[in-house]
Homo-oligomer: A and B are copies of this chain.
């Protein structure tokens, strides 16, 4: 079987351009004992990948130049030399942007037999979903009656976080980058308030949306959003610091919020977190989220780009808001 895969060949400055990547065609070996060969159906593009393109040690090691862009993918077993894996089984891997691979079955997770939307395991039932779940419940520690604000609210993480908070009795406010996304949050996801940060004064819009202040801020954006949220935070407020996408492609250091000192008087806690620390929450998360999806209590949407040659474009789309909900590269169209 032939497979094309996307390699990082140079480190981007600013928004990653096409010439930082190369599509390479490889021949997959047949599986040895204990291995399977998988044809991927869905590849994930996620904002955190921008950090791994830098040559800086962080919680994930930097991508090596000349290597495949690793990340989550869902595919179908096409050949198996492992007793627990049969042809046709759906599996998720972390082998990233490639059409297929042969690998030890031990490195893969089988999707449940009733996974009727396999791509959800890259989004609302995958890493972004668990990020939203743990960030809202374990880091944000939302309580009934509190006001919850999430930025990047129409994204894979934000849209899930807002709905988790709503289901725990919060008044939920979201910011998003288009009127269409705002309408989706309000009309489909049950947000109590939402605004388009591109066409609003952020401070004024948040003040109007949160007349009683903000108790928990789920930060996907950073910078001006964090500043506006801190300005509105209530005493003992919590900030679940998930990411700061508005700075990921910055080439110069950007100053942080000028009102950070307000956290003292307001006793605000700002807690950075990453999803891998909450692996023990996965069973409960999957049980809850599958039930909520089934009952229509949580809704999600996906934006598909077709073909591995659009993986880089899909990734770039995360930064200009091309995605509504989870951005997915679809290989089985």
> Which A residues contact B (CB, under 8 angstroms)?
51, 58-59, 222, 226, 235, 241-244, 247, 253-274, 277
Asked if residues A277 and B267 are in contact (CB atoms below 8 Å), the reply is: yes
Are the CB atoms of A247 and B222 closer together than 8 Å? no
A274 touching B270, Cβ below 8 Å? no
**CB < 8 Å: which of B226, B243, B257, B269 contacts A272?**
B269
**Given A256-B256, A258-B255, A260-B256: A265 and B59 within 8 A (CB)?**
yes
* Chain B neighbourhood of A267, CB < 8 A: 59, 271-274, 277
What's the minimum C-beta distance from A251 to chain B, rounded to whole angstroms?
Answer: 13
Number of copies: 2
| Whole-angstrom distance between the Cβ of A211 and the nearest chain B Cβ | 16
Residues of B within 8 Å of A51, CB to CB, are: 265
Specify which chain B residues have a CB less than 8 angstroms from the CB of A277 in the assembled complex: 267
A226-B260, A247-B261, A269-B271 are known; give 4 further A-B pairs, CB within 8 A.
Answer: A222-B261, A244-B264, A254-B258, A270-B271
CB-CB under 8 A from A272, the residues of chain B are 262-269
Complex-state Cα separation, A247 to B242, whole angstroms: 27
B residues within 8 A CB of A264? 241-244, 272-274
A222 smallest CB distance to B (angstroms) = 6
CB neighbours (8 Å) of A263 from chain B are: 241, 270-272
Query: How far is A259 from B247 in the complex, measured between Cα atoms in Å?
Result: 10
Q: What residues of chain B lie closer than 8 Å to A58, measured between beta carbons?
A: 265
Tell me whether A255 and B253 are in contact (CB under 8 A).
no
CA distance A247 to B102 in the complex (A): 58
Closest Cβ neighbor of A58 among chain B residues: B265
Closest 3 CB pairs of A and B: A255-B255, A256-B256, A263-B272
A333 to chain B, nearest CB (A): 34
What is the chain B residue whose CB lies nearest that of A51?
Answer: B265
Collect the chain B residues with CB atoms within 8 Å of residue A235's CB.
59
Give the residue among A254, A258, A268 with the most B Cβ atoms within 10 A. Answer: A258
> Quick one: closest B residue to A56, CB to CB?
B265
13 contacts between A and B (CB under 8 A): A58-B265, A59-B265, A59-B266, A226-B260, A241-B263, A242-B264, A244-B260, A244-B261, A260-B260, A262-B272, A269-B269, A269-B270, A270-B271
